[in-house]
Amino acid sequence: MRLRFSLQNLSLGVALVSLTAAGAASAQTLAGVNTHLVKPLDSATAAQGQTVAVKLDGSVKTPDGVKLPRGTELVGKIAAVKPSQNGGPASLSVVFTTAQLKGGKQIPVKATLLAAYPDDQGVEAQYSDSTMDTVTDQVSADHQVDQEPGALPGVTLKAAVKDADSGTFTKADGNFKLGAGTFFQVGVGSAASGSGASAAE
């Protein structure tokens, strides 16, 4: 009787450890990189499902070893859009799902927006401390973004690594447009754990 009880406790303990390990494995860290928007996004005319892409301004290596060189495009879609009605609020959510390398290779990715800045900063000042925060090398699994209007005039950015979407832009009083070249700082990682070794070839 005691032996059976001990074995049951041992089995329960192993199950709990397994669940804890699975939870830890699902918590993903991302690597930060500077990018810019390829085509404009306009809350007044955008449509759900419309393709959206940003291009990497530098190379990055994801926490699980996937190398994405400068010029790689992160491609995804508009996940949701709500245009302004009569000067009311407007919002637009995007999700990036694929890294498109220059040679045509595609890699599934998880991406979260960390910050956004206007496209009129000028090449010299692109990532200087006076105009933009330095992009972080490593983004924790519990990282959240709440960028108030100011960096993007009148537009708020909200995002979280745990969310399925990459980020949501909102304006309280009317539609907004993010021009081609708008700077996005993005946290990026592989969509599937363990896929990095083959993808990095």
In one-letter notation, the amino acid at residue 111 is A
Cβ pair 159, 144 in contact under 8 A: yes
| pLDDT at site 201 | 37
- Number of domains observed in the structure of the chain: 1
Q: Which region among 13-22, 64-73, 123-132 has the lowest average model confidence (pLDDT)?
A: 13-22
Q: 11 in a domain, yes or no?
A: no
Q: 2 in a domain, yes or no?
A: no
> Is the pLDDT at 157 greater than 80, yes or no?
yes
Q: 65 in a domain, yes or no?
A: yes
Q: 87 in a domain, yes or no?
A: yes
Cβ pair 185, 114 in contact under 8 A: yes
d(Cα 101, Cα 66) in Å, to the nearest integer?
12
Q: Which region among 87-96, 107-116, 121-130, 174-183 has the lowest average model confidence (pLDDT)?
A: 121-130
Quote the percentage of the chain above a pLDDT of 90.
63
Residue 95, beta-bridge partner list: 77
| pLDDT at site 150 | 81
Q: 21 in a domain, yes or no?
A: no
> Is the pLDDT at 62 greater than 70, yes or no?
yes
d(Cα 125, Cα 139) in Å, to the nearest integer?
24
Mean pLDDT value across residues 171-176: 96
- Give the angle 135-171-116 at the CA atoms, nearest 5°: 10
Where is pLDDT greater, at 53 or 7?
Answer: 53
> Is the pLDDT at 76 greater than 70, yes or no?
yes
Which CATH number is 143's domain given? 2.40.128
- Tell whether the torsion through CA atoms of 195, 138, 126 and 93 is positive or negative: positive
In one-letter notation, the amino acid at residue 102 is K
Q: 143 in a domain, yes or no?
A: yes
Q: 97 in a domain, yes or no?
A: yes
> Is the pLDDT at 23 greater than 80, yes or no?
no
Cβ pair 94, 112 in contact under 8 A: no
> Is the pLDDT at 198 greater than 70, yes or no?
no
| pLDDT at site 192 | 61
What domain range includes position 161?
A: 28-199
Radius of gyration of the CA atoms of the chain, in A: 20
| pLDDT at site 75 | 98
Instruction: Using alpha carbons, list the distances in angstroms from residue 107 to 68, 74, 95, 97.
Output: 9, 9, 15, 8
d(Cα 133, Cα 95) in Å, to the nearest integer?
22
Mean pLDDT value across residues 39-47: 97
| pLDDT at site 200 | 38
Q: Which two tokens stand for residue 130?
A: 């006076």
Mean pLDDT value across residues 23-33: 70
Q: 4 in a domain, yes or no?
A: no
Q: Which region among 27-31, 91-95, 120-124, 146-150 has the lowest average model confidence (pLDDT)?
A: 120-124
* 5: number of Cβ within 10 Å: 9
Where is pLDDT greater, at 196 or 53?
Answer: 53
Phi-psi map region of 65: left, alpha, beta (phi>0 left; psi -120 to 50 alpha): left
